[in-house]
Amino acid sequence: MVYLLPPATKAQTNGQPSMTSRVSTIKLNLFTTMAVPKRRQSKSRQKMRRGANRWKAPIFSTCSDCGASIPSHIACPSCGTYRGRKVLEVEAL
């Protein structure tokens, strides 16, 4: 993409840089500010980075009232308690 604008005079720009120089500066900054790695990452470091994203089994805790296993920070679906308080009304089937 090439922008061609007529050259501006000092009177037209009020002492500011012309539009042409601003556009070229913007185009240059787009290409020069990207981050590029200096060296290739070794296989060991690559595997360590990917190992952080591996699947982990969920950790269950036991309900203090009924003893059912439930995920953390969730009200017990069998008795309706959360941190020792009754927060849900559970209907018996």
pLDDT score of 60: 92
Asked whether the beta carbons of 18 and 7 are under 8 A apart, the reply is yes
Distance CA 24, CA 31 (A): 11
- Tens digits of per-residue pLDDT, 18-60? 666 666 656 655 556 788 999 999 999 999 999 988 898 989 9
- SS3 (DSSP) at 82: strand
pLDDT score of 24: 60
**Closest by CA position to 90, among listed 82, 81, 46:** 81
Residue 91 pLDDT level (bands cut at 50, 70, 90) = confident
**pTM exceeding the 0.75 threshold for the entire prediction:** no
Task: Spell out the SS3 assignment of 7-73.
Answer: CCCHHHHCCCCCHHHHHHHHHHHHHHCCCCCCCCCCHHHHHHHHHCCCCCCCCEEECCCCCCEEECC
